[in-house]
Amino acid sequence: MLKENKKYILMTIVSVMIILCYLYIQIFGIPPKYDSGKTIEKALNVGYEKNHSNAGLSQILSTVDLPKDEKLVFYKSNENILCYGLVKRKSKDNWIVLSKGGSYQLDQTTASQYKDKLYWAWSNMQEFGLTVGVVEDSDIDKITVDEKNATIIDTPINKRVWYFIDRKASSSGRHEYSDNIKGYGKGNLIYTFPTQAKSL
């Protein structure tokens, strides 16, 4: 009788656990499997290695500290493309990649009407919208998106990278981009989209 009771209790516990797991998956979905590594570089390279791609990380250009142990990382790929990734520290020796992308061929030859201007692209980084690009005009010292200041970064490859983080989401919960982008030099308007350059 005692064995039967134990068996019944065990089966009940297992059944409850299965039901709870099912409900969790229905509500929250299957937890995503993130690329991870002991360092930021190794974590960002995992995706390239999985796809047997040579376009891995060549050089980290800059990192930006964000809340919740996250960092926004700007890096150059082996194919000389400006890339960016959102990474999070899970433990002392473990970083995961939440999102990443690439936007700009750093050694491209630009058409004359776009030469020496401001280049940009937009990416949904899941937690926020990211406008990111390269400042090709040496006179531009200020950039705004929707009249809000963006950040310009000097990098070790003699390219100035700029970015703007927008955490505001639409009513649908999605992040949307704005092309109300302006570049200034010494207070004078030098660039305005789309008359002098284009998005990528």
Per-residue pLDDT tens over the stretch 12-43: 776 667 776 666 555 655 455 788 889 999 99
pLDDT recorded at residue 24: 59
Average pLDDT, whole number, for the chain?
A: 80
Cross-strand pairs, 123: 130
User: Which letter does DSSP use for residue 57 in this model?
Assistant: E
pLDDT at res. 31: 53
DSSP 155-193: -TTS-EEEEEEE----TTS-------EEEEETTEEEEET
Q: List the domain boundaries for the chain.
A: 1-31, 35-192
Predicted local distance difference test score (pLDDT) of residue 14: 61
Pairing between strand 94-105 and 81-91? antiparallel
* β-pair type (70-77, 81-91): antiparallel
Question: Of the candidates 133, 103, 101, 124, which has an alpha carbon nearest to the alpha carbon of residue 170?
Answer: 124
pLDDT at residue 200 greater than cutoff 50: no
pTM, entire model = 0.75
pLDDT surpassing 50 at residue 199: no
**Lowest-confidence region among 67-71, 91-95, 108-112, 150-154:** 108-112
For residues 165 and 12, the model is more confident at 165
